[in-house]
Structure 1
Amino acid sequence: MQNIRLLDCTLRDGGYINDWNFGFENIRDIVSSLTRAGVDIVEVGFLRNVDYDPDRTRWNTVKELKSILPADRRNVLFSGMALHNFYDIDKLEPWDGTGIDLIRVTFHDYDITEGLEFCRKAQEKGYKISCNPINIMGYSDEGVLWLVEQVNKLHPFAFSIVDTFGSMHQQDLDRIVSLVDNNLAKDISLGLHLHENMAQSFSLAQSFLNKHLVGRDVTVDASLLGMGRTPGNLCIELMADYLNLNFGKQYDIDCMLDAIQDHILPIREKEPWGYSPPYFLSARYNLHRNYAEHFLSKGDLSNRDINHLLSRIAPEKKTAFDASYADELYAAYKDHRINDAAARASLQKKLAGRTVLCLAPGASLSTHKAQIEAYIAAERPLVIAANFIPADFSADYAFFTSGKRFEKLAARPCPVLATSNIAGKADYVLDYNSLAGAFQLGSNSLVMLLHLLADLGVREAALAGADGYGPDGENYADKRMKNHTPRGSEYNAAMAKAIRAQGLTVRFITPSHYEKE
């Protein structure tokens, strides 16, 4: 009869959210809760070449992790995960029944031999072994069959289908499960590890279980509340409930819910995870998730932009993230070189002899409206808004470098300046490349505007609404403009430096973190 196991990987995969810093007592309580819930396999973290920290679920030796295991193990298997080149196998103590029982070993398609050799050595030390090849979706059918043949020679406890990039559809699951089940030795358990990029993990896990593979033990990975690197994993509480209702299991859901309430929800309040369009797009193209994160961090790309950028990644670059290559794509995408001499000459004439006030969309536009109005009345400056049209002030020009902001313009009460990366009609089009590159953390419309003003001979400028980023995250006068990319003191310091570097004398009319740095 088929044996179905449920494996919890909260303390391992979930650790990507909080740098594995759960806290010693929390770790012990989570392990205890999962054990009392009757979870079949509890993964307690990574085996890594690291200094021991009792508050983190990265372990240098098996001896270290024994302190968080319950006295009553209740027939639960405890596991750890190792990447062969991140852990020295010689440090692994022989299995003695008091530590972890199972070691899940991951490896890429380019280091299969090294990964399987690590498995063999761990197996010789008495541990059950699971082979977890990274990104099974990146293998051809022939590649899967060859890998299964090598795994059969090793004959481990388990082999896992790992959808690393969350790109698996139903037809992919059907194909890969058929290939593996028909060729893997029947006494090797078959596992499934899914991610939530396309919000399909629960559906795919149900389909996997409903195949009722004859004579084959199966394991499904999940985590409390789906905790894992955005967008997250399959939720173990949902999977346990499904198994209770349909497969006669008796997992204690209350223990899981208590662990979520006490330990996981406080983490998610600080570092949320869940479905997100950029990670759907990374799954759509079966890419390393870091490409989506890298392009998100630029702060000036719409989801549509990210879609187009991810679609251009070459097949040989998909599996391993290459930051330099990603930056080349980004630069090329932004590279809309034009001859803007005529536009610059016209603007230079209009700016000659004028005081300039640059408006950014910070919350101080509302909180310090009276001060800004007083400055405008006294100085009568030429007003230029950066990447928005202000609601409470009349701008002489609006300067746009972001396509996603430009596309939302409902009306144009003033002439519009736009950089050449933007598709759409503007009154003045300026070469993007000549203005970009002045900011180390990506492109920024305010810095680019100051750069332009300096190029056009302006030597002094006033700033309002250039607030910078505070800890509460409420930084915009119009909350619809909120940028969800996390930013803080590092970004503020880089902006302060970039503003000063443009060569203008800058006066802040409203309070700014950029002025404080």
Structure 2
Amino acid sequence: MSSKFRILDCTLRDGGYYTNWDFNKDLVEDYCKAMEVLPIEYVEIGYRSISLDGYLGEYFYCPEYVMKRLKSFMPSKKLVIILDEKNIRPEHLNDLLEPCKPYISMVRMAIDPKNFERAIILAKGVKAMGFDVAFNVMYMSNWKENSTFLDLLEGLEDTIDYFYMVDSFGGVLPEDVKEIIELVKSKTNVPLGFHGHDNLEMALINTLTAVENDCVLVDGTITGMGRGAGNLRTELLLTYLNSKNILNFDFTKLSAVVNDFELLKNKYKWGTNLPYMFSGAFSLPQKQVMEWVGMNRYPIGNIVNALNNQKEAIQDNIKLPLLEGKEDFDTAIILGGGPSAKSHSIAIQKLAANHSKLCLIHAGARNACTYLDVSNKQYFALVGFESEKLLKTIGEDFSKLKETCVYPPFPRHMGTIIPDKIKTLSVELETINFTNASSDSPLVIGIQIALDLGIKNIFLAGFDGYDTAIDNTQFVLAQENQNIINDALKIKDVSILSITPTKYKKLKVTSIYSII
């Protein structure tokens, strides 16, 4: 294998998909000092971007002080930033790139093939400012079916310095790498690069294949930290090259920075799994899989089912009867999964027993056993793997289950898998019409059940909220619940109160003990 190729590490840029582009300053300093002594020529430190909606952190915008600081830690390295072409136009370049000139050697551009012509115009503006330019062209696994954009490479040798093939879905195999390299080489003499994702755990062999077929620049990230299943692990590539006497370096420095990022990996859990493998094998979008896995609402089986439905162009696996709104109820207690739904269960059951026109609506399956013997009509709002959890929770008491299991409206974006034991008890909502905050939250389904039943008085119990020390998943769920509650409180002629303690804002609280 030739030793003429070079390595680019893009941990801070690609890893930012897990941290929202915020990293601990000491971690970044240690990372930079390791990069400085390792045989890595380029270090991509993040994005440069115009202002976008929502919070995106320090390494998404890379203000000048960040570039200056990182260059001071890595004076011998060629620093790189990347522009997301879909957001950047030529008129943005001066403001974005002029501050980069003292620190940045190369500007990469993330490009959707359908925007290739537009990207060329942008690249000419970047090149005119004195930077090396690299095209990072996405969706490599689809190029053999649609390669017409590659015809536009003719004559760009003076505009772009590297043409990167990006295996966005992590689904190409070594023979695909060879074929696509030959295809690209038939169109241009621009030096080639390769960026591999690891959905099928092929990132290393694909990268080595790319090098053997004349790629001169390849990417990696420490511990593979990167979007979805992640990338080629920089430490794996370096270790392999060391074993072949191609590169020599200090393993102590490498192991120290790897250890730092392994701690992050324990928290964010990047790396491949069955959903990422499936999406890679069939070139399905990674962003959605990352959201599904990160929410921890859906089991692997549901995620794979949803991906298979996408592959087969199926809307959903099953259409259920609609929930009928003919019941004579005036009050509903919606039971959340918080501890207060169990700790105050005796009082809640007393309230139910004294009110024949009251129904219980379970936002999930957690408290099924606690209320199994309540004679009032009960409904279960089920999403994700709640149906399986319901059966597991009830266990041998399944014969007592006479309740209605209610699912989101058809089609459900995750598809639907319903255990045979509860199919005859299962119905679906016709629509979610009071909020756009979610279509498959147990809370949103629970409130919609109450509305469809014509209920005007809704009590919430077990929606405790979270303490300040919460992880990212809990934060997302808490924010989703808050948005649902905010919209529910706007519903005309419907009263919504919490009868147990809650940390959710705007939600009025009355004590369960004051009304029994």
TM range, smaller chain: 0.7 to 0.9
Counterpart of 2:311 in structure 1 is 311
Indicate whether 1:433 and 2:409 are aligned.
Answer: no
- SS of alignment partner, residue 191 of structure 1: strand
Residues 426-435 or 406-415, more deviating: 426-435
1:360–1:465 Cα contact (<8 Å) kept: yes
Q: In the superposition, relative to structure 1, how do residues 452 and 502 fare at CA in structure 2: closer, same or farther (>3 Å)? A: farther
Specify the alignment match of 2:195 in structure 1: 193
Q: What are the equivalent positions in structure 2 for 1:404-415 lying under 5 Å apart?
A: 404-407=385-388, 409=391, 411-415=398-402
- Determine the structure 2 residue equivalent to 1:360: 336
Q: 1:473, CA displacement in angstroms?
A: 5.6
1:223-250 residue CA offsets vs partner (Å, 9 max, x unmatched): 1222222332222112111111124211
The sequence identity of aligned pairs, in percent, is 20
Which residue, out of 245, 248, 252, partners 1:250? 248
The yes-or-no answer on 1:112 pairing with 2:116 is yes
Relative to structure 1, the CA distance from residue 281 to residue 364 in structure 2 (aligned partners, 3 Å threshold; closer, same or farther) is farther
Corresponding residue for 2:270? 273
Retained in 1: the 8 A contact 2:116–2:149?
no
Q: CA deviation at 1:415?
A: 0.9
Matches of 1:128 and 1:511 in 2, distance apart? 59
In 2, Cα distance between equivalents of 1:494 and 1:72: 44
Instruction: Verify: 1:31 aligned to 2:18, yes or no.
Output: no
Indicate the residue corresponding to 1:17 in structure 2: 18
Rounded to whole Å, the distance in 2 between the matches of 1:507 and 1:141 is 56
Kindly provide the amino acid, as one letter, of the partner of residue 512 in structure 1: T
- Give per-residue Cα distances to partners, 1:263-294, cap 9 Å, x unaligned: x4565566443335544444344244334456
After TM superposition, the structure 1 stretch with the greater mean CA deviation from structure 2, 498-507 or 280-289, is 498-507
The CA distance in 1 between the partners of 2:37 and 2:19, in whole Å, is: 24
Shift, 1:44, TM fit: 2.6
Q: Matched residues in 2 for 1:20 and 1:451: separation? A: 36
Deviations 1:452-486 (A, max 9, x none): 34544544454433334555569xxxxxxxx9675
TM-score computed with the length of structure 2 as normaliser: 0.74
Which has the higher mean CA deviation after the structures are superposed, 265-274 or 36-45? 265-274
> Does 2:369 align with 1:391?
yes
Can you give the 5+ residue segments of structure 2 that lack an aligned partner in the other structure? 411-415, 508-516
The amino acid that maps onto 2:217 is T
Residues 484, 166 of structure 1: CA spacing in aligned structure 2 closer, same or farther, 3 A cutoff?
A: same
**Counterpart contact for 1:300–1:443, Cα < 8 Å:** no
SS in 1 for 2:8: strand
Gaps of 5+ in 1: 314-328, 475-482
Which AA in structure 1 matches 2:224?
G
**Shift in alpha-carbon separation, 1:385–1:248, aligned structure 2, 3 A:** same
Give the one of 65, 71, 95 matched to 1:69. Answer: 71
Instruction: Map 1:81-96; keep pairs closer than 5 Å.
Output: 81-84=82-85, 86=88, 88-90=92-94, 92=97
Shift of 1:40: 2.1
Equivalent runs, 1:285-364 vs 2, <5 Å: 285-292=282-289, 302-311=302-311, 333=316, 336=319, 338=321, 344-345=325-326, 347-348=327-328, 357-364=333-340
1:202 to 201, 204, 207: 204
Question: How far off its partner does 1:3 sit?
Answer: 0.8
Q: What does residue 478 of structure 1 align with?
A: none
Partner secondary structure for residue 13 of structure 2: helix
Cα distance between partner residues in 2 of 1:373 and 1:339: 28
User: Residue 37 of structure 1: CA displacement?
Assistant: 1.8
Which amino acid is 2:485 matched to?
Answer: A
Q: How big is the shift at 1:8?
A: 0.6
SS at match of 1:82: strand
Displacement after TM superposition at 1:162 (Å): 0.8
In the aligned structure 2, how far is the partner of 1:434 from the partner of 1:94? 50
What's the RMSD between the two structures over aligned residues?
4.3
Q: Which deviates more from structure 2 when the two are superposed, residues 297-306 or residues 229-238? A: 297-306
| 8 A contact 2:164–2:193 mirrored in 1 | yes
Cα 1:94–1:507, aligned 2, differ >3 Å: closer, same or farther?
Answer: closer
The reply to whether residue 418 of structure 1 matches residue 405 of structure 2 is yes
> 1:392 corresponds to which letter in structure 2?
T
Q: Look up the equivalent residue of 1:78 and give its one-letter code.
A: L
- The answer to whether residue 441 in structure 2 is matched with residue 465 in structure 1 is no
Give, as a single letter, the amino acid of the residue that structure 2 aligns with 1:38.
P
Q: 1:197 to 1:503 in 2, by over 3 A?
A: farther
Of 492-501 and 417-426, the range deviating more from structure 2: 417-426
Deviations 1:5-24 (A, max 9, x none): 12111122223333433366
2:218 to 200, 204, 220: 220
Give the total of aligned pairs: 474
Q: Secondary structure at the match of 2:67?
A: helix
